[in-house]
Amino acid sequence: MSTRENLFPTYAPPPINFVKGEGVWLTDDRGDKYLDFISGISVNTLGHAHPDLVKALTVQANKLWHLSNMFDVPGQQELADKYCSASFADRVFFANSGSEAVELTLKTARRYHYDRGDEKRIKIIGFDGSFHGRTYAAVNASGNPKYLKGFGPRLPGYVQLPFGDHDALQVEMDDTVAAVIIEPVQGEGGLRPVPGQCLQGLRKLCDEHGALLIYDEVQCGAGRTGKLFAHQWFENAQPDLIACAKGVGGGFPLGFTMATEAVGKVMVPGTHGSTYGGNALAMAVGLAVFEYLGDPEFYKHLNSVAAEFEAGLENMAQQKYPDMIEGVRGKGLLIGLKLKVPNMDVRTIARDDHHFLIGTAGDNVIRMAPALNVTHDECKQALTKLDDVFAQMKSAAKTG
Ligand SMILES: *Cc1c(COP(=O)(O)O)cnc(C)c1O
Domain shared by 311 and 187, yes or no: no
Looking at residue 91, what is its pLDDT? 98
Asked whether 28 and 19 are in contact (CB, 8 A), the reply is yes
Domain shared by 282 and 329, yes or no: no
Considering the candidates 36, 216, 240, 363, report the single residue annotated as catalytic. 216
% pLDDT > 70, the chain: 99
Residue burial 175-198, b: 16+ Cβ < 10 Å; e: rest: ebbbbbbbbbbbbbbbbbbbeeeb
Question: Is 278 domain-assigned?
Answer: yes
Looking at residue 397, what is its pLDDT? 87
Answer yes or no: is the C-beta of 330 below 6 A from any ligand 1 atom.
no
Strand 185-186 relative to strand 91-95, pairing: unpaired
- Nearest partner of 182 among 102, 264, 109, 94, judged by Cα: 102
Looking at residue 398, what is its pLDDT? 85
Cα of 132 vs centre of ligand 1, distance in Å, is 6
Question: Is 13 domain-assigned?
Answer: no
Identity of the residue numbered 145: P
Domain shared by 218 and 360, yes or no: no
pLDDT band (50, 70, 90) for residue 2: low
Domain shared by 253 and 280, yes or no: yes
pLDDT tens column, 71-109: 999 999 999 999 999 999 999 999 999 999 999 999 999
Question: Is 8 domain-assigned?
Answer: no
- Nearest partner of 258 among 298, 223, 213, 301, judged by Cα: 213
The CA distance from 288 to 86, in Å, is: 16
Domain shared by 191 and 302, yes or no: no
> Closest ligand 1 atom to the C-alpha of 138?
10
Question: Is 4 domain-assigned?
Answer: no
The CA distance from 177 to 208, in Å, is: 11
Looking at residue 399, what is its pLDDT? 82
Full-model pTM: 0.97
> Hey, whose CA ends up nearest to atom 11 of ligand 1?
132
**Is 184 a residue whose pLDDT tops 60?**
yes
pLDDT tens column, 262-305: 999 999 999 999 999 999 999 999 999 999 999 999 999 999 99
**Domain termination residue (choose one: 293, 322, 343):** 293
Domain shared by 79 and 98, yes or no: yes
**Is 1 a residue whose pLDDT tops 60?**
no
Question: Is 259 domain-assigned?
Answer: yes
Instruction: Residue 111: give the domain boundaries.
Output: 64-293
Identity of the residue numbered 166: H
Looking at residue 340, what is its pLDDT? 98
Considering the candidates 123, 246, 331, 385, report the single residue annotated as catalytic. 246
Answer yes or no: is the C-beta of 218 below 6 A from any ligand 1 atom.
yes
Answer yes or no: is the C-beta of 219 below 6 A from any ligand 1 atom.
yes
Q: Is the dihedral of CA 313, 20, 17, 32 positive or negative?
A: positive
Domain shared by 80 and 172, yes or no: yes
Domain shared by 155 and 122, yes or no: yes
Query: Domain with 392 in it: what CATH number?
Result: 3.90.1150.10
Domain shared by 222 and 311, yes or no: no
**Is 382 a residue whose pLDDT tops 60?**
yes
Structural domains in the chain (count): 2
Of residues 323 and 399, the one with the higher pLDDT is 323
The CA distance from 84 to 89, in Å, is: 5
Domain shared by 24 and 104, yes or no: no
Query: Domain with 239 in it: what CATH number?
Result: 3.40.640.10
Identify the helix (H) or strand (E) that includes residue 145.
helix 145-148
The CA distance from 48 to 396, in Å, is: 34
Identify the helix (H) or strand (E) that includes residue 244.
strand 241-244
**Domain termination residue (choose one: 259, 293, 327):** 293
pLDDT tens column, 6-31: 999 999 999 999 999 999 999 999 99
Task: Please give the mean pLDDT across all residues of the chain.
Answer: 97
- Nearest partner of 292 among 84, 63, 86, judged by Cα: 86
Q: In what order do the strands lie in the sheet with 212-216?
A: 91-95, 255-259, 241-244, 212-216, 177-182, 123-127, 158-161
Q: In what order do the strands lie in the sheet with 33-36?
A: 18-22, 25-28, 33-36, 356-357
Question: Is 6 domain-assigned?
Answer: no
Question: Is 214 domain-assigned?
Answer: yes
Mean local confidence (pLDDT), 213-233: 98
82 part of the active site? no
Looking at residue 59, what is its pLDDT? 98
Question: Is 170 domain-assigned?
Answer: yes
pLDDT tens column, 108-145: 999 999 999 999 999 999 999 999 999 999 999 999 99
Mean local confidence (pLDDT), 26-47: 98
Answer yes or no: is the C-beta of 97 below 6 A from any ligand 1 atom.
yes
115 part of the active site? no
**Domain termination residue (choose one: 293, 319, 336):** 293
18 part of the active site? no
